[in-house]
Structure 1
Amino acid sequence: MVKIARFSVEAWMDKYEHSCKYNIAETCCASISIDQLRELSEDKDRDVVTTSTALTYGAIRGADALRDNLARLYSARSGKVLPRDNILTTNGAIQANYLIAYALLGPGDHVICHYPTYQSLYEIPKQLGAEVSLWKASPENKWSPSIDHLKTLIKPNTKMIIINNPHNPTGAVLGKSFLQQVIDIASEHNIIIHSDEVYRPIFHGITPMDAEFPPSIVSMGYERVIATGSMSKAYSLAGIRIGWIASRDRSIIEEIAEARHYTLISVSMLDEQVAAFALDPSTIHSLLARNIALAKTNVEIMEKFVLKNDDACDWVKPVAGTTAFVRFHRDGKPVDSVDFCEKLLEKTGVMFVPGSDCFGQDFKGYVRIGYVNHTEGVKEGLDKVTQFVRRNLDDVKLAE
């Protein structure tokens, strides 16, 4: 029997997200309805879904319209077109990430994983029998890990390097030259790079004009790469549960496709139609403009909150994605983040995610905040947090 570790962040969300008043733990850009999606489109008379088509299993590897739109996005900044057949759709990015490990990793393999990050990226390879080394990032280096450290982690049996870019929980990015160094190391040892890009392309503190603006790993010339993404975070459509896997290496896609047959057969036809509509050229630009503007507005609210409470918290300001990793302390000593989050929720109705419980004991005092929700709710919630810090921080336990 596989030993399944507690999935801490999802257990926390499951326990509290439907009872809180201010969910500032939610990591999606503020979710929208199908009616709102249609309003964002330049083609408002077009049906989002076709209701006259029989609801069969649909296209096994993913609807052509959806995969064509994804292929166009991955080809935009590359000199080489990514064919639609190099893309598989999945039930969310969480299944995409699982399938990659399920298909490609097992006993005898070694994996290097960017850390901290979403727990399943390193736990699933471990559950499948692979050895996992954590490639640790630090706030002192703006949450970027060290290339020199990466070199020391390489082993003869290293099969995969897993990165998360933009980064959950910190909102940092691995820049273009950094990614090139990772590719150079991987290519020297014939290692696969798996880049979880679920928060792409919500870039609000760096622009495409910046020399270090990070392209998708699929656009950088190395064949043995895999990118995963979804409609949940950047595209505000978590409810349709659409994710995907893209790779330049067709043999990798074929291996994953074989494993995929055992786990889902195909993805909902209706969900794929909604995703294709959202990613169509007539819709995607307005949708992303809405979400990037929301991120820019709300990260400034976050920054004012941190400055107002700089005697009790600190951070590295995010430049992308939807999450911030904020450390709360009392007289410089980190608080117990679980006790902080539980007392905060009880007193104010504000929900954060405790870093030490959900991202590892290395992160004492840290909480993850999802700030690209509706602006008024974020502002009201953070005002409640300020009141809590002023009135109740002394009642919060310190980290042991």
Structure 2
Amino acid sequence: MNRATTFKLANWIDEHGHDAETVLAGSATPALRVKDLESLSTDPQSTASALDLSSIELGLGSPMGDKGLRERVASLYDGGQTLLSLDNVVIANATTGANLVAFESLLSAGDHVICMYPCYAPLVNIPKALSCDISYWRLDHGKRWEADTATLESLLKPQTQMIILNNPNNPTGSVIPIAVLEKIVDIARQRKITVFADEIFRPLFHGVDADVAPTISLMELSTTYDKTIVTGSMSKVWGMSGVRIGWIVSRNKGFLEKVSNVRLYVLQAVSNIDEIIAREALSERCRSAILNKHRDIAGQNLMSFDDFACKHGGVVSWVRPSGGGTAFVRFSQAETGRPVDDVKFCRVLKERCGVLLTPGSLCFSSARDEDFLGFVRLHLTVMPVTFRRGVQQLEQFLESEEWKSLFL
């Protein structure tokens, strides 16, 4: 990993977020407090008991993670039936650690990797640091960020070892429809290629009933093809970025053996206090209430931005996200369609109005610096009062003379 490129997204937020009045540059749901789990629980007394840390032994836990937690993680992927057990789950240090361990375990120098693009930058940059050959499976804003399997097939090489998905996608908020996901697995099966999916934003979907999602987990297709692996964590959907618990899920025994071995070198163990909190949050008595709370927050903010985008249709272009905590929004000059200089726009907006957004060309252009010019990532799962304030300040800025000087 000594060849890892600069993590520009994290650096941008760290550098500019500390003194911004309204931060719309992130992607997580609002942070929960431990006592919130009791108030959200259908059985507060049992939740309080489960979270009592007074008798916890502060030693190393299981090499694969707490058994009760692994059982609850496995249940996230059951698709209405029992597909997985705790033996299919390895606990890691958030998705950051899960992705690193998975890539270190399954990729080697010279392997060809196809990665969905745009995506969360480490999904490209870690394989690149491992000296893999990267091909970018480009999603097109003009085609609603849809994943085109014909394009995927055109990128295949004899040495292709892995297809990397980000579903729901960060930054676009697009999801891969079930039929397309099935086609991806079919393509991989024919060539015995591993399919990896970072599903950290699952199951946060928008505009759907709780029981009807626009996609499924890759794990729900693992019964037909087991060279599949999924990662997730407590950070985004569950409002627990400070609980550094993530996971790696697979039906492939060989994958899990490799992952477990590398985990011992990289992590050895995670905090058993964090495991206890995560285990309770994913219990039946807490899980639905947390998810519904965060779906409601996202829904309110989507409605607010829908109104804003309609009002400024000549300037603002977006594909309404189907899932996740972010949207990828293009700002351009109404008269000519010229894109805004997104980096300068984000800097000036923060300086003048105190609103921080994430510039797309800086933070998501892994292939070419000129990719995603004019795009910014917008955080959809902050508290609605914060989101509305940020949108109001953004609207005022679009009426200023300074806005007119920011186009490329």
- TM-score, scaled to structure 2: 0.94
1:358 aligns with 2:363: yes
- Please give the alpha-carbon distance, in whole angstroms, between the structure 2 residues aligned to 1:381 and 1:394: 16
Task: Compute the displacement of 1:307 (Å).
Answer: 1.5
1:203 aligns with 2:208: no
Residue in 2 that maps onto 1:397? 406
Instruction: Identify the match of residue 236 of structure 1 among 234, 239, 255.
Output: 239
Letter in 1 for 2:9: V
- Please give the alpha-carbon distance, in whole angstroms, between the structure 2 residues aligned to 1:208 and 1:146: 27
Residue in 1 that maps onto 2:127? 125
> CA offsets per residue over residues 257-310 of structure 1, 9 Å max, x none?
111111110110000100001000010011111111111111111111111222
> CA offsets per residue over residues 347-397 of structure 1, 9 Å max, x none?
111110000100113101000000211000100111000001111453543
Residue in 2 that maps onto 1:279? 282
Letter in 2 for 1:38: E
1:334 aligns with 2:339: yes
Instruction: Identify the match of residue 388 of structure 1 among 380, 393, 397.
Output: 397
Residue in 1 that maps onto 2:328? 325
1:173 aligns with 2:175: yes
- Please give the alpha-carbon distance, in whole angstroms, between the structure 2 residues aligned to 1:289 and 1:2: 41
Instruction: Identify the match of residue 386 of structure 2 among 358, 368, 377.
Output: 377
Residue in 2 that maps onto 1:63? 66
C-alpha contact 1:49 1:270 (8 A) present in aligned 2: no
Letter in 2 for 1:394: W
Residue in 2 that maps onto 1:138? 140
More deviation in 309-318 or 118-127?
309-318
Residue in 1 that maps onto 2:314? 311
- Please give the alpha-carbon distance, in whole angstroms, between the structure 2 residues aligned to 1:208 and 1:160: 32
Residue in 2 that maps onto 1:214? 215
Residue in 1 that maps onto 2:5? 5
- Please give the alpha-carbon distance, in whole angstroms, between the structure 1 residues aligned to 2:341 and 2:187: 38
C-alpha contact 1:171 1:318 (8 A) present in aligned 2: yes
Task: Compute the displacement of 1:81 (Å).
Answer: 2.5
Task: Compute the displacement of 1:251 (Å).
Answer: 1.1
Q: Find the residue that maps to 2:242 and give its secondary structure.
A: helix
Question: Over the residues paired in the alignment, what is the CA RMSD in angstroms?
Answer: 1.5
Q: Find the residue that maps to 1:145 and give its secondary structure.
A: coil
Task: Compute the displacement of 1:398 (Å).
Answer: 2.2
- Please give the alpha-carbon distance, in whole angstroms, between the structure 2 residues aligned to 1:146 and 1:76: 25
1:267 aligns with 2:270: yes
Task: Compute the displacement of 1:35 (Å).
Answer: 1.0
Residue in 2 that maps onto 1:14? 14
Instruction: Identify the match of residue 347 of structure 1 among 338, 342, 352.
Output: 352
Task: Compute the displacement of 1:209 (Å).
Answer: 6.4
1:77 aligns with 2:86: no
Please show how residues 148-163 of structure 1 align to structure 2 within 5 Å. 148-163=150-165
Unaligned runs of 5+ in 1: none
Residue in 2 that maps onto 1:248? 251
C-alpha contact 2:355 2:390 (8 A) present in aligned 1: yes
> CA offsets per residue over residues 130-167 of structure 1, 9 Å max, x none?
11100000012210121111111111111110001111
- Please give the alpha-carbon distance, in whole angstroms, between the structure 2 residues aligned to 1:59 and 1:309: 54
Q: Find the residue that maps to 2:322 and give its secondary structure.
A: coil
- TM-score, scaled to structure 1: 0.96
Task: Compute the displacement of 1:92 (Å).
Answer: 0.9
Q: Find the residue that maps to 2:92 and give its secondary structure.
A: strand
C-alpha contact 2:83 2:220 (8 A) present in aligned 1: no
- Please give the alpha-carbon distance, in whole angstroms, between the structure 2 residues aligned to 1:214 and 1:110: 27
Unaligned runs of 5+ in 2: none
- Please give the alpha-carbon distance, in whole angstroms, between the structure 1 residues aligned to 2:139 and 2:5: 23
